[in-house]
Amino acid sequence: MTFCTNCGAENKAKHKYCVYCSAPLHDEKDMKEVSKKLKDTSLDYMPRIATDYSNLVRRNYLIWYLFSIVISLFAYIYLYINFMDLNELDRLTPNKEGPSLKTDLNNLILELVLCLFIPFYIVVVYHRKYKLLNDYFEYNQKKQKIIPIEARKRTGLFILVFVLLLISTACLTIGPVLMSIYYAPIFLAIFLPIGIVLALVCIGIGIYLIYCDYIWQKALNERILMINPNAEEKLLF
C-alpha cells in the first residue's frame, strides 16, 4: 500500500495518482524528480478542467424499468443511455490511470441489435457496463457512499439463474412424464417440489439483480452530483 503525501489517504501500490485527491504518488527517493516536474507545470500533472455539464444528468431507474416491462425495447434504449452517460463522465473526469470509460456508441448499437437475435449476449453488455463503473470508482474513489456490485458477481448470478431455470424446467417436465409412463406418483412427488423450489430461487435472484441495477444507477447519480450538484434528473429522455 502507498500513502498519499498530500492528503494522507491509503492507496493501492499499483496506483500512480491518489484516488481521493488526484495528487501523484511516489516514494521518497522520487521526491526531487516529482518536485521538478511540478515546477515545470507539466500538463501530465495538471487536472483536466471541463465546464460543460449540460449532458451530465441523473437518471430515474424505476421509470425506465417500468417502461421496459411494458415495451422491452426500452431496456435496450436504457442500456444505450447508460453507456452514453459513462462517456460523458469520462469526458469530464477521466481516469488519470486505469481503463477509460469511453465506449464506441456505434459499435454498441450493433451489439444491442445482436442481443435481439442472441438474447444471452446481453450478459456481455451488462458485464461491461458494470465493469466500467467498477473500474472508475476504483481509481476515483473520493467519498462515494453507494458502490455497485462487482461485474463478475452480477454476471455469475445471472448465469446461475439461467442454469437453475433450466434444471427447474426439466424437473417440472420430467416428473409428469415419468409418472404417465410408469404410473408411479413418486416421480411427481420428487421432481415437482424440486422444480418449484428452484423456480422460486430463480425469482428471488432475479429480484436481487433488478435491485443491483437500481443501485448501479444510484451510484452513478451520486457521482454525478459530486461533479455537478445542480445536475438535472431526467425521468426518461
The tens digit of pLDDT for each residue in 31-81 reads 455 455 544 544 444 444 445 777 889 999 999 999 999 888 999 999 999
pLDDT of res. 49: 47
Amino acid identity for residue 167 in this structure: I
List the beta bridge partners of residue 233: 58
Distance separating alpha carbons of residues 34 and 193, to the nearest angstrom: 67
Mean pLDDT, all residues of the chain:
83
Q: What percent of the chain has pLDDT over 70?
A: 83
pLDDT of res. 37: 52
| Over residues 4-30, mean pLDDT | 67
All 3 cell numbers of residue 109?
448499437
pLDDT of res. 47: 47
Domain coordinates of the chain in residue numbers?
2-45, 58-155+191-234
Phi, psi dihedrals of residue 49, rounded to the nearest 5°: -105, 130
Distance separating alpha carbons of residues 46 and 38, to the nearest angstrom: 9
Phi, psi dihedrals of residue 12, rounded to the nearest 5°: -70, 150
pLDDT band at 7 (very low <50, low <70, confident <90, very high): low
All 3 cell numbers of residue 138?
476504483
Q: What percent of the chain has pLDDT over 90?
A: 49
Cβ–Cβ < 8 Å for 190, 19: no
Would the pLDDT of 97 be above 70?
yes
pLDDT band at 1 (very low <50, low <70, confident <90, very high): low
Distance separating alpha carbons of residues 1 and 98, to the nearest angstrom: 17
Q: Please write the tens of the pLDDT for every residue from 182-236.
A: 777 787 788 889 999 999 999 999 999 999 999 999 999 999 999 888 888 888 8
Q: Which residue has the higher pLDDT, 10 or 118?
A: 118
Report the range of poorest mean pLDDT among 73-87, 92-106, 161-175, 190-204. Answer: 92-106
List the beta bridge partners of residue 24: 17
β-strand pairing of 58-59 with 233-234: parallel
pLDDT of res. 178: 79
Long-range contacts of 11-15 (CB under 8 A, 24+ apart): 15/97, 15/139
> pTM to 2 decimals?
0.76
Amino acid identity for residue 80 in this structure: Y
pLDDT band at 85 (very low <50, low <70, confident <90, very high): very high
